[in-house]
Amino acid sequence: MEVVEKDKKQELKEFIDSVKNKEHGDSYLIAVLHKAQGLYGYLSREVMDTIAQEMQIPTAHIWGVATFYHYFNLTPPGKHVVSVCLGTACYVKGAPQILEAIRNELKIDFGQITEDKMFSLQIARCLGACGVAPVVMIDDKIHGEMTPQKVVDVINQYRKAEKKQ
Amino acid sequence: MSKKYIITICDGTGCIQKDNAAIRKILEQQLKEHNLTNDVRVNLSGCLGMCDKGPIVVINPGYTIYGNVTTNDIPEIVEEHIVKGKPLARLAIQEDHLYNRFFRIFGDAKFFGKQMRIALRNCGIIDPENIDDYLSLRGYEALAKVLTDMTPKQVIEEVKLSGLRGRGGAGFPTGVKWQITARAGSPNSPRSASDEKYVICNADEGDPGAFMDRSAIEGDPHTVLEGMIIGGYAIGAKQGIVYIRAEYPLAVRRLEKAIADAREHGFLGKNILGSDFSFDIDIRLGAGAFVCGEETALIRSIEGGRGMPRPRPPYPSVEGLFGKPTLINNVETWANIPVVILDSGKWFSTVGTERSKGTKVFALAGMVVNTGLIEVPMGTTLREIIYDIGGGIPNNKEFKAVQTGGPSGGCLPAKYLDTPVDYESLAKAGSIMGSGGMIVIDHDSCMVDIAKYFLEFTQNESCGKCTPCREGTKRMLDILIKITEGKGEMYDIENLERLGNMIKKASLCGLGQSAPNPVLSTILNFREEYEEHVKDKKCRAGVCKQLLTYEITDKCVGCGACKKVCPVVAITGTTKAKHIIDQNKCIKCGACFSKCKFDAIIKK
């Protein structure tokens, strides 16, 4: 585990080195945060401190940027991230009921994580898959034409796959 | 060796979700089994627009479109269509003769009848990850023409002549914007700072319910790049940036590939096509902030800061990215440019209406039969879009309203169905063109709830910089929540109107200036629904939970399922006898309603 952490830090540093000396190097801060979140799953205080030192930008400023954008997580996500689309198309096609069903099934609210750390729940504002509304995105896969029953089935599939491993 | 058939599988987000990968696998297996791999070419394409009928498979020649294809259908399609040469009528999407200059390309489906594709001309036809496909359909020809035959001034004149207006929503004349940016920084301009300039493509498509830009980039990324390179030449920039949402990983990947391919072919980089002109394009990812669709906020975000807008002027055309003159256009605007150059601005200006030229792409979604991506000439009526292209409302339900322009737009009721789609007419009717989201709403939706939904969105996305937007939207939302909970008073409706108009006038950027629109337009067009919520404490669509009453009818067989599921023990009754809900205890959670198998519980 220790080795893997080191690798991540190394990769982040290398990425920062590759951008910080470009013209307007500071402007790559958001790209760096994307990279960091891709590596760690979320932006911890330690990671932000590392970025601050490497890029010579105050942590306060980085914190300001990270909290401004919804895409960045400040707490660790679950193993599977469930995003319920609440875009207009999904909303008029019954997304609130889908959200309700997931809440009941996972017994968490959005922004929270299940006790077994398996799922975390978030709200998405339009995933651009309105043609198959209502949709739920789990990790990177979009599940379309959901119903309250279907979404529970999908969650159970993930649970089953997890047990098999 | 030429192939006898070309089979194109749609690889847009809708079809990927419906597992087009399995279709491709089985198809390739089948072709191998029949020893047909040398006669048939299998292609992928971007979104064809018929998302509800996915997965889509198109076989050429003959332009046969197959919809709702399953892996089990593939052997039959191969056997009948490829081996025997007879299209399979069972799966082919209804053929319909029509007069459309694109029907030879897209096929004779009614869905395309009233459409006209300029920005999306290659979407669904070419393989977006193959630059040769784009080149075979006059790709980068406009760029070559511009670099060899036209001066930057002539390019700008051509764009001005076309009458093209910004497709991001505001509708500012594109040619004029180009001219201002081209002049900025020149010796006779007041702000002659430097010769450094930037070109930006705004692909931060944040409107909930809109997916035009996503599909355009996923389906034909090179068109957008070509438009940007031409723009760079016209204003004298060396660097272009595409600012795109991180939520669109596929679009980002295809864009990255397209940029790499364009570089390799010499369309990007130093001395493009042997000319003196050098230009390159970078991608910057957004991070989920709606306000970054506003140009000054977008620029701030590219600079690496919190995406907050700033007062204009100075406009980005004069002082933009890193303080330099910057040309920002929306994805769809860029995608129109190569056509304006190739087919001339004069031809482009023949399409559309007096003041709105060309076509507009809409993401048609919500309660409509054919959901998907469409492109229509300006001036097409809402009725034509919803009924002729969209196929009307599913389950024979009645049309209630159409929402255009997302959280910045408004809801138009049935009396506006014959409104032509152009910037002025939609504004006059109380909505806006917007970037192209079009959501159809039926009578199962409550207009007060829809207004509340949009305001929740804008309130959440307000960056907090200016008070009218930060505080005003919050107060408006409070009032709306009060109304939907049955605690509203008549003066609340007037307060909403007053507050809304104030926010529109006093906010700093487009987000605040348009945030009250969904509320104001629903009050204007559906005032009686607001009044019902306030006076009668009723929600006619049965959406606002606090205003509902659940009742058990005589259909009840006394199974007791509702009693078990009720969290507050509000239901009483003995087995095999009709149950009763105690309205004083009921918390209106709806659990009994969804549990009852006999439709014996009704909500009023």
Q: What residue segments make up the domains of chain A, in order of their start? A: 2-68, 80-164
Chain A positions in Cβ-Cβ contact with residue B13 (cut-off 8 Å) = 128-129, 131, 142
Q: What pLDDT, on a 0 to 100 scale, did the predictor assign at position A43?
A: 95
**Statement to judge: residues B430 and B454 lie in one domain:** no
| pTM, two decimal places | 0.87
Q: What pLDDT, on a 0 to 100 scale, did the predictor assign at position B97?
A: 43
Chain A positions in Cβ-Cβ contact with residue B215 (cut-off 8 Å) = 128
Rounded distance, CA A113 to CA A107, Å? 9
DSSP-based three-state secondary structure for A85: strand
Residue contact A128–B210, C-beta within 8 A: yes
pLDDT (mean) for B102-119: 71
Residue contact A126–B13, C-beta within 8 A: no
Tell me which residue has tokens 């010579």.
Answer: A56
**Statement to judge: residues B267 and B388 lie in one domain:** no
Domain span at residue B51 reads 5-112
Of B536, B562, B583, the residue at which a domain comes to its end is B536
pLDDT tens string B508-535? 999 999 999 999 999 999 999 999 999 9
Query: A28-32, A92-96, B104-108, B442-446 — which is least confidently predicted?
Result: B104-108
Rounded distance, CA A102 to CA A85, Å? 12
B56 assigned to some structural domain = yes
B543 assigned to some structural domain = no
Chain A positions in Cβ-Cβ contact with residue B403 (cut-off 8 Å) = 88
To 10 degrees, the CA torsion angle through B151, B156, B160, B161?
10
Q: Per the structure block, which two tokens stand in for A104? A: 């009941």
Looking at per-residue confidence, does B61 or B282 come out higher?
Answer: B282
Instruction: State yes or no: cis peptide before B61, omega within 30 of 0.
Output: yes
Q: What pLDDT, on a 0 to 100 scale, did the predictor assign at position B186?
A: 62
Chain A positions in Cβ-Cβ contact with residue B366 (cut-off 8 Å) = 88-89, 92-93, 130, 133
pLDDT grade for B418, boundaries at 50, 70 and 90 = very high
**Statement to judge: residues B255 and B340 lie in one domain:** yes
B96 assigned to some structural domain = yes
B120 assigned to some structural domain = no
According to DSSP, the β-strands at B550-552 and B601-603 are antiparallel
Other beta carbons within 10 Å of B189: 14
Tell me which residue has tokens 């029907």.
Answer: B103
**B289/chain A closest Cα distance in angstroms:** 5
Residue B274 sits at φ, ψ, to 5 deg, of: 80, 5
**Average pLDDT in chain A:** 90
Residue contact A64–B371, C-beta within 8 A: no
**Statement to judge: residues B83 and B97 lie in one domain:** yes
Chain A positions in Cβ-Cβ contact with residue B212 (cut-off 8 Å) = none
In this structure, which amino acid lies at residue B329?
N
* Packing angle of the helix pair A45-55, A2-20 (nearest 10 deg): 40
Interface test with A, best of B10, B20, B439, B588 (most A CBs within 10 A): B439
pLDDT grade for B464, boundaries at 50, 70 and 90 = very high
Instruction: State yes or no: cis peptide before B55, omega within 30 of 0.
Output: yes
Tell me B433's DSSP state: -
pLDDT grade for B12, boundaries at 50, 70 and 90 = confident
Of B301, B325, B348, the residue at which a domain comes to its end is B348
Q: Reply yes or no on domain A80-164 having CATH 3.40.35.10.
A: no
A119 touches chain B (CB under 8 A): no
Are the C-beta atoms of B214 and B331 separated by less than 8 Å? no
**Statement to judge: residues B336 and B284 lie in one domain:** yes
Nearest to B362 by CA among A20, A89, A43, A70: A89
Q: What pLDDT, on a 0 to 100 scale, did the predictor assign at position B106?
A: 61
Q: What pLDDT, on a 0 to 100 scale, did the predictor assign at position A1?
A: 47
Nearest to B7 by CA among B62, B86, B71: B62
Searching chain A, which residue's CA lies closest to the CA of residue B405? A88
Tell me B536's DSSP state: I
**Statement to judge: residues B174 and B307 lie in one domain:** yes
Start-end of H helices in B245-396: 249-264, 295-302, 331-343, 345-348, 382-383
**Statement to judge: residues B166 and B92 lie in one domain:** no
pLDDT (mean) for B470-486: 96
Q: What pLDDT, on a 0 to 100 scale, did the predictor assign at position B95?
A: 54
**Average pLDDT in chain B:** 90
B126 assigned to some structural domain = no
Q: Per the structure block, which two tokens stand in for A128? A: 């651009």
Q: What pLDDT, on a 0 to 100 scale, did the predictor assign at position B109?
A: 65
Of B410, B442, B474, the residue at which a domain comes to its end is B442
CB < 8 Å from B in window 2-41 of A:
24, 26-31, 33-34
**B116/chain A closest Cα distance in angstroms:** 20
pLDDT grade for B192, boundaries at 50, 70 and 90 = very low
Q: What pLDDT, on a 0 to 100 scale, did the predictor assign at position B107?
A: 58
Rounded distance, CA B454 to CA A74, Å? 26
Rounded distance, CA B337 to CA B241, Å? 17
Q: Per the structure block, which two tokens stand in for B137? A: 């359909």
Q: What pLDDT, on a 0 to 100 scale, did the predictor assign at position B1?
A: 43
Q: What pLDDT, on a 0 to 100 scale, did the predictor assign at position B104?
A: 53
B119 assigned to some structural domain = no
Q: What pLDDT, on a 0 to 100 scale, did the predictor assign at position B100?
A: 41
In sequence order, the β-bridge partners of residue A138 are A82, A141
Q: What pLDDT, on a 0 to 100 scale, did the predictor assign at position A47?
A: 95
Chain A positions in Cβ-Cβ contact with residue B302 (cut-off 8 Å) = 27
Q: Per the structure block, which two tokens stand in for B182? A: 């081209």
**Statement to judge: residues B105 and B141 lie in one domain:** no
Instruction: Please give the ipTM for the structure prediction.
Output: 0.87
pLDDT at B463 over 90: yes
Residue % of chain B over a pLDDT of 90: 67
Instruction: State yes or no: cis peptide before B377, omega within 30 of 0.
Output: no
Searching chain B, which residue's CA lies closest to the CA of residue A33? B287
Partner residue facing A88 (CB), from B17, B214, B439: B439
pLDDT (mean) for B586-593: 84
Tell me which residue has tokens 């290659």.
Answer: B122
A140 touches chain B (CB under 8 A): yes
Interface test with A, best of B211, B397, B450, B463 (most A CBs within 10 A): B211
**Statement to judge: residues B438 and B451 lie in one domain:** no
**Statement to judge: residues B556 and B454 lie in one domain:** no
pLDDT grade for B115, boundaries at 50, 70 and 90 = confident
pLDDT tens string B219-232? 999 999 999 999 99
**Statement to judge: residues B143 and B238 lie in one domain:** yes
What CATH number is attached to the domain comprising B327? 3.40.50.11540
Q: What pLDDT, on a 0 to 100 scale, did the predictor assign at position B26?
A: 93
What is the CA angle B396-B401-B404, rounded to 5?
125
Residue contact B247–A27, C-beta within 8 A: no
How many domains does chain B divide into?
5
What CATH number is attached to the domain comprising B555? 3.30.70.20
pLDDT at A3 over 70: no
B467 assigned to some structural domain = yes
Residue % of chain B over a pLDDT of 70: 95
pLDDT grade for B108, boundaries at 50, 70 and 90 = low
**A135/chain B closest Cα distance in angstroms:** 10
Nearest to B354 by CA among B429, B417, B422: B422
Rounded distance, CA B88 to CA A45, Å? 60
Q: What pLDDT, on a 0 to 100 scale, did the predictor assign at position B25?
A: 93
B462 assigned to some structural domain = yes
pLDDT tens string B330-363? 999 999 999 999 999 999 999 999 999 999 999 9
**Statement to judge: residues B264 and B156 lie in one domain:** yes
A94 touches chain B (CB under 8 A): no
